């Protein structure tokens, strides 16, 4: 089981919680929805590699000239300065977003599955030219690529409504000896 889910739910103050995990890839799961109750976590749905919101975002990080796995925050920072003019192209060509929040990437546009880069010629044709080279000047195109709509809102809704699982709050990772000690005093230890 993914350690992030355990670290977030077990020390939380909730006896029951919906659990949503999204990442580029962890083992093979890229996103999952579960339910925590008492001392157990039940997995309800799981999305598997290569279909991943995280890898989709990493492809845009690479294409806009930033380093994958460290430059994603830069793309997020650019989003307010761009116009979402490529959202339709993303939805029409790159990703199918299903009603339950799961996605399916059109792998014809991504190189990370079988190559050494995130994107290739398909991305260049779809987004008006080659990937930006690192450390070169940003253009309006990179600003306009930043507002990526990946369907996260649907996935959040799916997590809170999965099989009737409702949470009074969202379990977030908790750290620090003081918080763990406080939780031990407030309720019995979970095994």
Find the range with the poorest average confidence among 18-22, 26-30, 59-63, 101-105. 26-30
Domain boundaries, the chain: 3-49+155-186, 53-153
DSSP labels, 147-175: ----SHHHHHHHHHHGGG---SS------
Spell out the residues 6+ positions from residue 105 whose beta carbon is closer than 8 angstroms to its own: 50, 51, 52, 55, 56, 94, 95
Q: Do residues 162 and 35 touch, judged by C-beta distance below 8 A? A: yes
Predicted pLDDT at 22: 83
User: What value does the CA radius of gyration of the chain take, rounded to a whole number of Å?
Assistant: 19
Express each pLDDT in 80-106 by its tens digit. 999 999 999 999 999 998 888 889 999
Who wins on pLDDT, 161 or 141? Answer: 141
CA 55 to CA 44: how far, in whole Å? Answer: 22
Express each pLDDT in 32-82 by its tens digit. 889 999 888 899 999 999 999 889 999 999 999 999 999 999 999 999 999
Portion of the chain with pLDDT greater than 90, in percent = 49
Pairing of strands 103-105, 95-97: antiparallel
Predicted pLDDT at 21: 84
């Amino acid at each position: 089981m993914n350690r992030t889910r355990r670290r977030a739910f077990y020390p939380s103050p909730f006896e029951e919680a919906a659990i949503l995990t999204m990442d580029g890839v962890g083992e093979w799961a890229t996103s999952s929805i579960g339910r925590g109750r008492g001392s157990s976590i039940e997995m309800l749905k799981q999305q598997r590699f290569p279909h991943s919101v995280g890898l989709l975002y990493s492809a845009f990080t690479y294409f806009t000239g930033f380093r994958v796995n460290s430059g994603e925050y830069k793309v997020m920072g650019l989003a307010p300065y761009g116009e979402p003019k490529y959202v339709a192209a993303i939805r029409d060509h790159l990703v199918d977003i299903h009603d339950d929040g799961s996605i399916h990437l059109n792998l014809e546009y991504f190189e990370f599955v079988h190559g050494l880069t995130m994107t290739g010629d398909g991305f260049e044709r779809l987004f008006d030219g080659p990937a930006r080279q690192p450390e070169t000047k940003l253009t309006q195109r990179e600003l306009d690529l930043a507002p990526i709509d990946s369907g996260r809102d649907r996935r959040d809704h799916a997590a809170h409504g999965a099989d009737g699982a409702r949470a009074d709050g969202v379990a977030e990772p908790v750290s620090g000896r003081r918080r763990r000690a406080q939780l031990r005093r407030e309720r019995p230890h979970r095994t």
